Structure 1
Amino acid sequence: MSAPVRGRSTRVRPANRRPKSAEYRARRRVILRRRLVALLTLLSIVGLTYGVFFTPLLGVRNVDVHGAVVLTDDEVRRAAAIEPGSPLVRLDLRGIRERVAAVPRIATVEVERQLPGTVRLLITERVPVGSVKLPDGFHLVDSTGMDYAVLPTAAPGVPELVLATPSSTDPATRAVVGVLNELPEKLRPDVLQVSATSGADVKLTLSGNRVVKWGSSDDTPRKAAVLMVLLSRPGTTYDVSSPDLATVS
């Protein structure tokens, strides 16, 4: 038997195995590719965020006004003071709402953002329950007692209010509008004038030279129901200030 040959052994490398340096390069390419994708994604997010928040990319292009009746859309837009091109997502909605609500004729306002570049202003204008004749004209008063506008002539379709100082904090004004707010629809067309000097002496003047002593605005629905019955009787003065003891004279 021949002796084995001593010396350096040689190993056969598998045919499908690449050198370590090739594997390293492949892994490094994958890592670099992932890092590049992550970097590009981050830059895209930063760029989009900057574009949305600090450029006119999604800026205000239109301001739509809904609900204006007496006011014009441009008057409402001027009150809102929204700068064209202002980034939509950074708009101070509360500030816009406060500026529009400061217009005396406006009772309520809602502000909405609509992508890509529209702001909607939904307003409700005040409705007069009466007008007060003062030296500078006829002051319109709404259901809250607010004196919000002045006209050169009497407002059509609403009674005249005889008040010294129309104001939402004035007891006489609050009593008058409190009565008017709760009058039945059937009675409203007959009311020509409502007056008061305090919160307890409201008086209505109806068509046909009839006068109604109402007293305070308390228990107005009951007083109105009693008055509707009393009006079927002839008379010029109807006193419902105490509805249980109502009189006609």
Structure 2
Amino acid sequence: MDEAESVATRPEATVEPAVDPSVWHRTEAKAADRVTLRMQERLAEKRSVERRRLWRRWGTRGAIAAAGLLVLWAVAMSPLLRFDAGEAEISGLGTYVDPAAVDAVVAEHEGESLVLLDVSGLVDGLKEISGVADARVERLWPSTLRISLVTREPVAAVPQADEGFAIVDDEAVTVGIVEEAPDALPVVTVPLGEDGEAVLQAVLGVIDELPVELRAEVEGIEARTADSVSFTLRDGPLVEWGGVEDSATKAQVLAVLLDSSEASSADVIDVSAPTLPITRSN
């Protein structure tokens, strides 16, 4: 067999058809789209469940809060909790606080719910009364209050332009007005008008610096200026004090002089310059 015949009789080789790569890409894309769609559906369902659960949770809380508020309102509005001003316990009136003024402020809250009663407003009203520096208010269930007043401590009596005396504390706040000066308080004589206010402050500063036992012995105290304070001791000499500065030293020097033999015959003791005190007779 020649070479031509051999080639003719040789079987033909099988040729595999070529595969288009774009088919695979389209298939994979469709599969990915289906997976993504299922994930989105599951996420959406999960979010919907969470929203329903959140709404139920807040709905329950809201219902509980509403019920609590309803109960609180019912309790607060109960007649058993209405404030009875006539049963209020009031203490600390002192000597110069007007009880009628206190009763009037307290009576303004008559019939209010003790739960809702404005305690700070009541305290503010009480502090506006002459002689009241502060107040403490405590609820006494079911229907009244315990009121403790902190009154201003009077330290001097100041003559008024028309008549009577103003009782003042150490801040020059008027505690009360009386016709006659109390024996236990020194009478302060200072210039009238705006200039007198500064002088009065200086005088009260001196009184505040005096030892308690010496303050009780002061009968009258006067000043023309803030640096010329002088006072008269009960059954004792006139003391020229000067200004409020060095008051502690002046008080010590005065105590020593009052215990000395020189003071028994002295009409005036001058401690305005405490390092050089002077005693003299008129």
TM-score by length of 1: 0.74
Preserved CA contact (<8 Å) 1:130 1:159:
yes
Residue 224 in structure 1 maps to residue 246 in structure 2: no
**Higher helix content, 1 or 2:** 2
Do the aligned residues in 1 keep the contact of 2:133 with 2:151 (CA within 8 Å)? yes
1:183 aligns with 2:210: yes
Larger proportion of strand: 1
CA contact (8 A) 1:63 1:77 kept: no
Whichever residue aligns with residue 60 of structure 1, its letter is F
**Comparing 137-146 and 38-47, the one that deviates more:** 38-47
- Counterpart in the other structure of 1:213: 240
Query: Which residue identity lines up with residue 226 of structure 2 in the other structure?
Result: G
| Unaligned residue ranges in structure 1 (runs of 5+) | 1-37
State the 1:90 CA deviation.
1.7
2: CA distance between counterparts of 1:50 and 1:176? 56
Contact persistence 1:80–1:97 (CA under 8 A) = no
Kept after mapping to 2: 8 A contact 1:79/1:100: yes
Q: Indicate whether 1:241 and 2:272 are aligned.
A: yes
Distance 1:166 1:87 in 2: 48
SS in 2 for 1:154: coil
Encode CA deviations 1:167-219: one digit per residue, 9 max, x unaligned. 9x922112111111221233234311111233211111123462111111122
- Over 3 Å counting, the alpha-carbon distance change for 1:42 and 1:128 in structure 2 is closer
CA distance in 1, matches of 2:229, 2:75: 58
Instruction: Please say if residues 131 and 155 of structure 1, whose CA atoms lie closer than 8 Å, have aligned partners that are also in contact.
Output: yes
What residue is the counterpart of 2:157 in the other structure? Answer: 131
The change in CA–CA distance for 1:148 and 1:108 in structure 2 (over 3 A counts) is same
Deviation at 1:102, TM superposition (A): 0.6
Structure 2 CA distance for aligned equivalents of residues 39 and 132 of structure 1: 64
Which moves more between the two structures, 172-181 or 73-82? 73-82
Asked whether the equivalents of residues 131 and 174 of structure 2 are also in contact (C-alpha less than 8 Å), the reply is: no
Q: Which residue of 2 aligns with 1:87?
A: 113
Q: Does residue 106 of the first structure (1) align with residue 129 of the second (2)?
A: no
Q: Which residue of the partner structure matches residue 56 of structure 1?
A: 79
- Structure 2 gap ranges (5+): 1-60
Deviation at 1:235, TM superposition (A): 1.4
Q: In structure 2, how many angstroms separate the alpha carbons of the residues matched to 1:74 and 1:180?
A: 31
CA RMSD of aligned residues (A): 2.8
Q: How many residues align?
A: 212
Instruction: Spell out the pairing of 1:107-122 with structure 2 (5 A cutoff).
Output: 107-122=133-148
Q: Percent identity?
A: 29
1:230 is paired with a residue whose SS is helix
Task: Please report the TM-score for the alignment, with normalisation by the length of structure 2.
Answer: 0.66
Counterpart secondary structure, 2:149: strand
**Distance apart, 1:99 and its partner CA:** 0.9
Which amino acid is the alignment partner of residue 218 of structure 2?
Answer: V
